[in-house]
Structure 1
Amino acid sequence: MSVKNKVQLITYADSLGGDLKTLNNVLIKYFSDICSGGVHILPPFPSSGDRGFAPITYLEIEPKFGTWKDISSIGKNFDVLVDLMVNHISKQSEYFQDFLKKGRKSKYADFFITLDKLWENGEPVKEDVEKIFLRREHPYSTFKIEENGEEEKVWTTFGKTDPSEQIDLDISSEKVKKLLEAFFVNFSKHGIKIVRLDAVGYVIKKLGTSCFFVEPEVYEFLDWIMELANSLGIELLPEVHSQYETQYKLAEHGFWIYDFILPYTVLDTLINKSSGRLCEYLKNRPKNQFTTLDCHDGIPVKPDMDDLIDSEAARKVVDVCVERGATLSRILTEEYKDKDGFDVHQIQCSYYSALNCDNDAYLAARAIQFFTPGIPQVYYVGLLAGENDIERAKITGERREINRHNFSVLEIEQALQREVVQRLLKLIRFRNEYDAFNGDFKVIDSKDDEINLVWTKGEKRCELFVDLKTNKSIINYINDSGNDIQYIV
């Protein structure tokens, strides 16, 4: 199977109506020609935290969302993409619970990375830890084993609690590989077409390195899992937040990659009214990418934009977003901050709010995204031009919830009445239906306060013109009758 060159939707199982059955009804009733490229359902599995990203198992669907039958029903009309948190599993999983009870006697003991697998006496060495790209204060958690009362330190890359809810898997273990095979077979059985390998950059733990995207070992794992996925007719999308050269290596290796450079670059372009950096980037980027502007986390800054922006300019863009209600996720490890201390990992806000709820600016951003080569993904909050949900972030204590508002069916219907949403849906239909997007792409040299992008295929041609002074966007295209049509976005 091949990925469709059409727009995909990203949503949680419960964010458009409350559960999977309602999601399916909403998709068919309102968005059947909108997300014709597929639907990325963020983790619908039983989970103990991180809004699904601490999965207990992949063999079941969280009962409050529905069942695998509901996933298969969605799959009848839309290609379904799901996540596999290949780096970790929940503390509440049967595997780790058995380890907590029996320790090294557990049949699952080899699933996990006890620190003696890395350090001779099982005690972390400060010099090694300081080199690691940390996502929490330290990369391990301490647990007490029920049967013998002994303490075990195991590797935990992620997690806001201590001990963590997310326990790293030892992907060098044959038992873990068998487990991953079982998950993939189950995905295939229920019609999953694409699997996003979440946090795959962290799977290799090697002393003396950052323990992030460790080469060449990471490719050995990726090659193994790609062979597995190919055997089941499943496409893979590795999720790696890293400096662009790492992404490009993945692309050269034959993988789809995420364009994590585009979201910030488009934002910078519209805020500073300057297209030079964006146009230069669009001329040179790999084409086998999934494009996004927004997602369930935030707008990537570091390390994704390293070597592409300078700290002073980035601070100004970040400050504008903060003025518009954004919060920030920061880099923890000193070594990975800029020399002047700039440490912004992600900007947490809705993309519509980041653009000051300016309808023309928002439509210009989406037009640029849809004209950029790759598979466009639109996050559900962005699809409905949602604003920052500051209250939800306060209530939950999770800053990323600022861009995770759950829409009732009534709220969806109300959003569909808004002009900005109707304009966006029209633009998505054009991107899905116009055949030139399967042809050749070109960036036309233009003034710094303008953008000019063109697609051609045979007699079909469409050209996007964005005036950054006014944020107005115009598409000129040739219709089926051969006539020149001007479409004001």
Structure 2
Amino acid sequence: MAWEHLHDKVKHHLESIYADVALDVSYETLATELMNTIGIQQQTDIASPQSHHNYWDEEDIIMITYGDSVIDEDERPLVTLNKFMHRYCKNTINNVHILPFFPYSSDDGFSVIDYSTVNEALGSWDDIEAIAKDYGLMTDLVINHCSARSVWFDNFVKGEGPGSDFFFTADPADDLSLVTRPRVSPLLRETETADGTKYVWCTFSHDQVDFDFRNPKVLLAFIDIIKLYIDKGAKIFRLDAVAFLWKIVGTNSINLFQTHEVIRLIRTLIEHVDPSIIIITETNIPNRENLTYFGNANEAHAIYNFSLPPLLVNTLVSGDCTYLKSWMMSMPPAQNGTAYFNFIASHDGIGLRPAEGLLSEEEISDLVHAMQHFGGKVSWRASEHGQQKPYEINITLFDALQGTIKGPDKYQVDRFICAHAIMLGMEGIPGIYIHSLLGTSNDYEKVANTGQNRSINRKRWDFNELEALLDSPFSQHHKVLTRISQLIRIRKAQPAFHPNATQFTLQLGNQIFGYWRQSLDRKQSIFCISNICDEEQTILLSDINLIGTDNWIDLITRDEISLSSGFLQMKPYQVLWISNQDFE
């Protein structure tokens, strides 16, 4: 694409974003500044992204971790993380999402003080770049807010310098009743500044002050940050809490048109620097709204499949896949050039907003009570009517699946592996939280120390202690890592598990959850069948319609499937990946 053509495209984005904003700079000048900032000058070669091209395949797995999830005495945590991955993940994980590794003041990294430096307690940019040499680096762009202890906010308070006009303010007398809130804290933070009392918009907490993207200097600052991260090896950008980016007083200030257009602009700039860089939007909102962030394959390359965690956990603790099956049938196939980002555990809890409209209030209530019985905590939000509603369940996935609504049982590990097998076989790119890979249990001590519910799922492992457990065949951690690693190795070898391969939901009753995958070249089929309850189940082979002229094998056990038997007997939480080809 010629520089002039791209410049016109960027200018068009800007005209849409700032149509209702009086700027003191022309669209032409701003477009040039943005392109120069990200490294696209008139004399440089401009990359040519392919429309609807998949920059991923079945081999892509993303591990989600904090920079200090594993620590070793007298060693920088990022060095320890790299050592852990080389020792235990080398043949399974090829991408790593290191949660915010910048200096921060709260929210375990998501209240960023300085976007341009690495937290000294974790390591340095050299350590980040060393990881990026061997793994695809996914980094957070915490774009909605920053720390109230940042230099930018200090300058806002002083009324001078960079950042002095970066933050969104409102009047307490404004009608803010429609604003969508993920927290119960007051929306506005009263702040004394050199220019008098101001009320700063805080979507999440009063230590997380929201940016005002009506000021194009904020956009320029973030394009500069993106350029830095690309230079340091970032291959995947996670746009944190991006749904709240644009605010308009009198509206719900979520998912606004301008927010989508800012994402389209960021996409345009990044893909003309390096088309292989992927953008993932983190939008923890109801499913229908979440899907809009694909745009027309011109916004996010991938979106978080936020409805999957609550639906899958509900399925496995209730022993009924009705809701999961209905949701799966309703999900549109991701068109080429886009993909779902599947996960069932993360540094946050099990979000319940994405289950709204999919699970009934009674089902959500039953799920919450079961998780509380398993030692989980509940975080709350204020509804539009001022009532408190459960927003998030805080619990490790391993402990969330320790039993059913009847209580704990002996199937914890099998149920946990079943959950990951279902996720790994689905359409989309899988993300696995490090504490799921390790089978980590609830960390009550950390909750007590921090006073934060989310700390329950953010354990910090001592490397030597963890190494001993992972090397012991009798520990839950060894069993979990071994079995999940086996599933990953199988998945990575099968073309039918390409993130964009065909998927079709099977109708096998409420206790058997199944779907069919077919490779893009239509040569390989895999029937993914899971017993999601605590009793043995029998399935008729005629119900999954295996073609009699093919030879079928369970990829997990390597057992041949005899069509003459007419049925299969499945143990509680057993998973079958039945395929006509085996590429492992």
* TM score, norm. by length of structure 1: 0.89
Is structure 2 residue 538 aligned with structure 1 residue 487? no
Partner of 1:432: 492
Whole-Å Cα distance in 1 between the matches of residues 228 and 248 of structure 2? 31
Aligned match of 1:277 in 308, 320, 323? 323
1:335–1:221 distance in 2 versus 1, CA, 3 Å: farther
Whole-Å Cα distance in 2 between the matches of residues 319 and 427 of structure 1? 31
1:189–1:310 distance in 2 versus 1, CA, 3 Å: same
Partner of 1:212: 254
Partner of 1:319: 369
Whole-Å Cα distance in 2 between the matches of residues 411 and 461 of structure 1? 42
Partner of 2:344: 293
Partner of 1:177: 219
Note the C-alpha offset of 1:92: 1.9
Deviations for 1:326-359, whole angstroms, at most 9, x for unmatched residues?
A: 101111234376xxx7x11111100110111701
Note the C-alpha offset of 1:218: 1.8
Partner of 1:445: 507
Partner of 1:347: 393
Aligned ranges 1:4-403 → 2 under 5 Å: 4-5=57-58, 6-17=60-71, 19-36=77-94, 38-100=95-157, 102-103=158-159, 105-115=160-170, 123-125=171-173, 128-134=175-181, 135-145=183-193, 150-159=196-205, 164-214=206-256, 216-233=257-274, 234-254=277-297, 255=300, 256-286=302-332, 287=334, 288-302=339-353, 304-335=354-385, 343-356=389-402, 358-403=412-457
Note the C-alpha offset of 1:107: 4.5
* Mapped contact 1:89–1:166 kept (Cα < 8 A): yes
Whole-Å Cα distance in 1 between the matches of residues 431 and 343 of structure 2? 5
Whole-Å Cα distance in 1 between the matches of residues 460 and 536 of structure 2? 30
In structure 2, the residue corresponding to 1:137 is in which secondary structure?
A: coil
* Mapped contact 1:39–1:81 kept (Cα < 8 A): yes
* Mapped contact 2:343–2:423 kept (Cα < 8 A): yes
Which residue identity does 1:421 align to in structure 2?
A: L
Note the C-alpha offset of 1:97: 1.3
In structure 1, the residue corresponding to 2:382 is in which secondary structure?
A: coil
In structure 1, the residue corresponding to 2:213 is in which secondary structure?
A: coil
Whole-Å Cα distance in 2 between the matches of residues 450 and 165 of structure 1? 46
Aligned match of 2:525 in 461, 471, 479? 461
Which residue identity does 1:420 align to in structure 2?
A: V
Whole-Å Cα distance in 2 between the matches of residues 187 and 232 of structure 1? 12
Whole-Å Cα distance in 1 between the matches of residues 437 and 443 of structure 2? 15
Which residue identity does 2:268 align to in structure 1?
A: E
In structure 1, the residue corresponding to 2:556 is in which secondary structure?
A: strand
* Mapped contact 2:169–2:201 kept (Cα < 8 A): yes
Note the C-alpha offset of 1:62: 0.5
Whole-Å Cα distance in 2 between the matches of residues 278 and 114 of structure 1? 41
Whole-Å Cα distance in 1 between the matches of residues 84 and 315 of structure 2? 34
In structure 1, the residue corresponding to 2:70 is in which secondary structure?
A: coil
Note the C-alpha offset of 1:307: 1.2
Note the C-alpha offset of 1:248: 1.6
Partner of 1:118: none
Whole-Å Cα distance in 1 between the matches of residues 552 and 316 of structure 2? 31
Whole-Å Cα distance in 2 between the matches of residues 209 and 51 of structure 1? 30
In structure 2, the residue corresponding to 1:193 is in which secondary structure?
A: strand
* Mapped contact 2:237–2:279 kept (Cα < 8 A): yes
Partner of 1:2: 55
Per mean C-alpha deviation after superposition, the further-off stretch among 462-471 and 49-58 is 462-471
* Mapped contact 1:112–1:170 kept (Cα < 8 A): yes
* Mapped contact 2:437–2:480 kept (Cα < 8 A): no
Note the C-alpha offset of 1:153: 2.0
Note the C-alpha offset of 1:413: 1.9
Which residue identity does 1:428 align to in structure 2?
A: I
In structure 2, the residue corresponding to 1:247 is in which secondary structure?
A: helix
In structure 1, the residue corresponding to 2:165 is in which secondary structure?
A: helix
* Mapped contact 1:188–1:232 kept (Cα < 8 A): no
1:455–1:89 distance in 2 versus 1, CA, 3 Å: same
Which residue identity does 1:462 align to in structure 2?
A: I
Deviations for 1:434-455, whole angstroms, at most 9, x for unmatched residues?
A: 2221233222221211122222
* Mapped contact 2:427–2:502 kept (Cα < 8 A): no
* Mapped contact 1:360–1:472 kept (Cα < 8 A): no
Per mean C-alpha deviation after superposition, the further-off stretch among 190-199 and 423-432 is 423-432
In structure 2, the residue corresponding to 1:297 is in which secondary structure?
A: coil
Structure 1 runs, 4 residues or longer, greater than 4 Å off = 471-474
Which residue identity does 1:219 align to in structure 2?
A: H
Whole-Å Cα distance in 2 between the matches of residues 301 and 355 of structure 1? 17
Q: Which entry has the higher C-alpha Rg, 1 or 2? A: 2
1:136–1:485 distance in 2 versus 1, CA, 3 Å: closer
* Mapped contact 2:342–2:423 kept (Cα < 8 A): yes
Per mean C-alpha deviation after superposition, the further-off stretch among 357-366 and 438-447 is 438-447
* Mapped contact 1:133–1:336 kept (Cα < 8 A): no
Whole-Å Cα distance in 2 between the matches of residues 53 and 196 of structure 1? 12
CA RMSD of aligned residues (A): 2.4
Which residue identity does 2:553 align to in structure 1?
A: D
Which residue identity does 1:311 align to in structure 2?
A: E
Whole-Å Cα distance in 2 between the matches of residues 414 and 459 of structure 1? 43
Whole-Å Cα distance in 1 between the matches of residues 189 and 209 of structure 2? 9
* TM score, norm. by length of structure 2: 0.75
Deviations for 1:40-65, whole angstroms, at most 9, x for unmatched residues?
A: 00000111111110111221101111
Deviations for 1:10-45, whole angstroms, at most 9, x for unmatched residues?
A: 000000235111111111111012212x10000001
Partner of 1:419: 479
Partner of 1:470: 534
Whole-Å Cα distance in 1 between the matches of residues 529 and 303 of structure 2? 27
